[in-house]
Every structure is written in C-alpha cells, then in structure tokens.
C-alpha cells in the first residue's frame, strides 16, 4: 500500500503442490511490514501475511475424480482451501488494486501485480515444471572484445565525471487509444528504452470482446523510421462476442536509448441497449497491458563499465512485470432519453383518449326546453336585482 495515491490488496499462494489434510497439521502465521521511502517523499508500506502448513501431503492432480479426504484448518481459510483442493491448484495469485502505480517515479513495487483492477491467475494440475521467473534462458554465445591503449598516469589528466543516475526502470511505456469516431480507433503504444544496450520485452494485450484488432494495420516506428523487424513472435487470438476476449502477444526489440512507437487499428462494435452499463456515457474501462523487460546475459557480461553497471542494476528485475495505465473507450451509445420521451407522449395520449371516452361513457347530453312562463319569471327576478 502506498500512502498518498495507491492501494493494493494481494493474495499469493505458492504451494508447490496442492496439499491434503486428512488430520490436523501444524500451522504457523507470520506478519511482516516493509517500509520504503520513495524519491518524491511518499512512503511505500507493504504488509505481508503468511500462513504455513507443515507436514501436508500433496494431492495428485490425476485423482480429481476421486473423493477427497477430510480437511481441517485452524488458521487457513476453509473456503479457500476447498477451492484449491477441488481443482488441484498449485499456485494462485489474486490482486485487487485501486489507483495507478507510477514506474517512472517509484520504480518497481514490492509485488509485481500492480495493474489497476482485479487480476487472477493460477496453475492447476500442471504436469511439467513451469518457472515464472525463468520463462526463458539466453545463452552467452560470445563476449565483446575491447582493445585499447592507455598511458601511465593518464588518470591525472582526466576530469572527474560523475556517473549519471540510472532511471528507476529499464523502460517507460505510454499507451493511448486515439480516434474521433465511435466505430473505429487506433491503439498507440510508445516504449522508451533507457538503457545503452539492446533490450527485448514481451508485450501482452488482453482486451474485452468489445474491441477487435486489425492485425494487418500493425506498424512499428523507431525514432520516426519504419522498422517492422523489431516485432517478432506475434500471436493473436480473435475475440468471440460474449465468450472470449481479444489476446495479442508479441516480442519487441528495443534499440539502445531509443523510442519504439507501435500503432494498430481497432474496431468498436455496436452494442444492444441492454448491454450498456448504467452510466453509458462515461465509457468502458479497458484493462492495462503487460510488459516484461528481458535483459540478455551478453548485456550483463559486457566490458563497458557503464553498461555493465546498468545491466547489473536491472538483472534482478528482468522478469518483473510492468503494467500500463487503464484506458477508457467511448462506444456508440443510443439516446436513452428517447424512451422517456415516448413514455411521456404515450401517457399524454392515453390521458386524452381515456378522458374523452370516459366522459362519453359516464355523461349524457340532453336538450332542455324552457316554456314562456319560466322565461318571464327569470327575467323578472333579474330586473328586481
């Protein structure tokens, strides 16, 4: 939790394998609080609550069809334990975030899952070993060769230069959705590489079925020059209305100290009036994109002092995720005042018709004939007044 602009609640379960509790096991509970001052004067406070179960026996994912053993918990939540046991969950991460994490000012957070909104992902009955921290490994094919000649006592004639302070994160990302019409738009992503080395980063975009990407319109520019070779390993899963979201993945290559500009056209659908939220004019919230900077081993082994220091600074964060800010998309919205106008007009017409018909049914119009004596009496009374 960041005092002054960001709030996060996280639940992380790393069980190795789902546990079986046929009897009561020893449970331990631990609380920790980490405080870290930030450069802008704010204070980052990270609360950690850990429950440890000792002596638990893992459950075989292949025995999900067999009735499970009885579970007994003292500190661990029973409702959560039943879900983990039912689906053989080995690891689960759930985060509920409010606000926006500013990577440029605060650097990397204590926990990587800082995307605005809710996020849930888990491993269920995996048969192969999957490491989230080591998704890939780059081999060192060759080391750079630096040949130079230096004079003795040369350092006496050199002016001391203070090394520049490195940025808090290896890259900065700006993501916007452009367009002046409600049927189409353009997704723009600007990634800046702060390092003096070539950097690769994975790019994951998960959009609701409301938006559909035009993959053929994908364009990549580096410092204003078209560079399609900087995008590789592209994977695109089109959406299915009301069933499956849009999924776009790519591997981006960022040149040293450069800015990569990626654009792609999107299509906005026309929704039924029953599918709009109560505040339809506000728009729809889109989830953030995810970037994972990947620093190769050759970059860390370079002989250049500055490059080596920068690469070593981010080597421990090379597998940490970075989330962009959320987007707000404006879809075509019907005129919700028309039903109100129709209701008012219908009620007015019904009132007029009902009143006329009611008068015809309940009243009777007759002609009253008045004789001459009655007329003279009425006239005399008027004159006397």
Over the stretch 125-142, which tens digit does the pLDDT of each residue have?
655 555 545 554 554 445
pLDDT for 310 equals 47
User: Do 170 and 293 meet the contact criterion of CB atoms below 8 Å apart?
Assistant: yes
**Location of each CATH 2.60.40.290 domain in the chain:** 166-329
CATH-assigned architecture of domain 166-329? Sandwich (2.60)
Q: Residue 84: count other Cβ atoms within 10 Å of its Cβ.
A: 22
Alpha-carbon span 218 to 223, nearest angstrom: 17
Dump pLDDT digits (tens) for 44-77.
888 888 887 777 666 766 676 777 676 677 777 7
Nearest CA among 190, 324, 307, 314 for reference residue 258: 190
Q: What is the pLDDT of residue 224?
A: 84
Query: For the chain, what's the residue count?
Result: 385
**What pLDDT score was predicted for residue 165?**
65
Q: What is the DSSP letter of 110?
A: S
> What span, in angstroms and rounded, lies between the C-alpha atoms of 367 and 227?
96
> 158, 151 in Cβ contact below 8 A?
no
pLDDT beneath 70, residues of the chain: 1-25, 56-58, 60-62, 64, 68, 70-71, 125-166, 295-319, 384-385
Query: Quick one: pLDDT at residue 180?
Result: 81
CB 287 within 8 A of CB 121: no
pLDDT at 341: 86
């Amino acid at each position: 939790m960041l005092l002054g602009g960001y709030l996060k609640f996280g639940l992380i379960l790393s069980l190795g394998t789902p546990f079986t509790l046929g009897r009561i096991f020893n449970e331990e509970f631990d609380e920790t609080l980490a405080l870290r001052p930030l450069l802008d004067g704010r204070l980052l406070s990270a609360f950690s609550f850990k429950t440890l179960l000792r002596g638990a026996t893992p459950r075989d994912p292949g025995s999900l069809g067999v009735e499970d053993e009885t579970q007994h918990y003292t500190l661990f939540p029973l409702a959560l334990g039943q879900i983990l046991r039912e689906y053989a969950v080995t690891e689960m991460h759930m985060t509920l975030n409010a606000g926006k994490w500013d990577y440029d000012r605060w650097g990397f957070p204590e926990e990587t899952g800082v995307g605005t909104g809710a996020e849930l992902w888990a491993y269920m009955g995996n048969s192969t070993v999957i490491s989230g921290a080591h998704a890939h490994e780059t081999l060192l094919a060759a080391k750079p060769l630096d040949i130079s000649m230096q004079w003795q006592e040369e350092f006496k004639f050199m002016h001391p230069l203070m090394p520049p302070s490195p940025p808090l994160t290896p890259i900065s990302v700006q993501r916007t959705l452009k367009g002046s019409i409600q049927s189409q738009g353009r997704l723009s992503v600007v990634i800046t590489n702060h390092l003096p080395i070539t950097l690769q980063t994975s790019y994951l975009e998960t959009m609701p079925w409301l938006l559909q990407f035009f993959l053929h319109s994908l364009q990549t520019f580096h410092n204003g020059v078209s560079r399609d070779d900087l995008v590789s390993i592209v994977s695109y899963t089109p959406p299915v209305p009301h069933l499956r979201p849009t999924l776009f993945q790519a591997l981006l290559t960022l040149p040293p100290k450069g800015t990569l500009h990626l654009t792609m056209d999107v299509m906005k659908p026309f929704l039924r009036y029953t599918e709009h939220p109560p505040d339809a004019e506000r728009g729809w919230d889109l989830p953030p994109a995810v970037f994972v900077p990947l620093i190769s081993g050759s970059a860390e082994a370079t002989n250049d002092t500055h490059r080596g220091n920068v690469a070593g600074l981010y080597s421990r964060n090379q597998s940490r995720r970075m989330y962009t800010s959320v987007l707000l998309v404006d879809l075509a919205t019907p005129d919700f005042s028309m039903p109100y106008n129709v209701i008012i007009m219908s009620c007015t017409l019904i009132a007029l018709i009902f009143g006329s018909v009611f008068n015809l049914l309940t009243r009777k119009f007759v002609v009253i004939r008045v004789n001459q004596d009655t007329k003279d009496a009425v006239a005399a009374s008027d004159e006397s007044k």
